[in-house]
Chain A
Amino acid sequence: NAGVTQTPKFQVLKTGQSMTLQCAQDMNHEYMSWYRQDPGMGLRLIHYSVGAGITDQGEVPNGYNVSRSTTEDFPLRLLSAAPSQTSVYFCASSYSSGRAGELFFGEGSRLTVL
């Protein structure tokens, strides 16, 4: 099983550029989420989705958009990149019930904004 797949693994952007981080899972998980990881701050929730067509904001949503047109895919869009968005981004998914909270993480996407 591929699990959670994130692309690209590395990206360098200039301030003001836009881009999309891709996330796909093949486990038929209803719940998907995006986190950013910064040194000394742990992981912070950006956006999440409890199913196709449903998204909601997490702790740090500003500057990011998401959509969930299919169960499998949950892309994260940076509208106008800023140096403060330099971070490692993780996509995670989980079952809808029973094993809620047992997140499966992708390998991460390291973004640098110059």
Chain B
Amino acid sequence: AQSVAQPEDQVNVAEGNPLTVKCTYSVSGNPYLFWYVQYPNRGLQFLLKYITGDNLVKGSYGFEAEFNKSQTSFHLKKPSALVSDSALYFCAVSGGPSSGSARQLTFGSGTQLTVLP
């Protein structure tokens, strides 16, 4: 079974400071890893994904994430936070194509990011 842990329910950061939202995962074989963002009363929006290759993945709105296989982590980062980044962030994992579940995403419980002006 695959699983995702987001250890922080809430992250607060001052505008202009770097931000990190943590995620660790468990999956058989090579993982597909994703970050999604949810604004109030909206559906989730895809931010970025790691499939293979470079451990640093760049995505939408200046976000990036670093894949660390030895620590089974996929932390979301941004060098300089904006107030408009305030939202609920979800990490997700799926197995690779050989697992037969490449599109069955398992989501973490979410981390509420608040960027303070």
- A residues at B contact (CB < 8 Å): 4, 31, 33, 35, 40-45, 48, 50, 58-59, 90, 92, 94, 100-108
Given contacts A42-B90, A94-B103, A106-B43, whether A101 and B32 have CB atoms under 8 Å apart is yes
- 19 A-B pairs with C-beta separation under 8 A: A31-B103, A40-B109, A42-B4, A42-B90, A42-B109, A43-B90, A45-B105, A50-B103, A58-B104, A100-B32, A101-B92, A101-B102, A101-B103, A102-B34, A102-B49, A103-B36, A104-B46, A105-B44, A105-B45
Chain B facing A: main interface SS: strand
- A4 adjacent to B49 (CB under 8 Å): no
- A101 adjacent to B94 (CB under 8 Å): yes
Q: Mark B86-106, 1 if CB is under 8 A from A, else 0.
A: 000010101000000011111
Q: Which residues of the other chain, B, contact A48 by a CB distance below 8 angstroms?
A: 103-104
| Nearest 6 interchain pairs by C-beta | A105-B43, A42-B107, A43-B107, A42-B109, A105-B44, A102-B46
The contact size tier of chain B is 20 to 34
- A103 adjacent to B104 (CB under 8 Å): no
Q: Which residues of the other chain, A, contact B106 by a CB distance below 8 angstroms?
A: 45, 59
Contact of B108 among A42, A100, A101 (CB under 8 A): A42
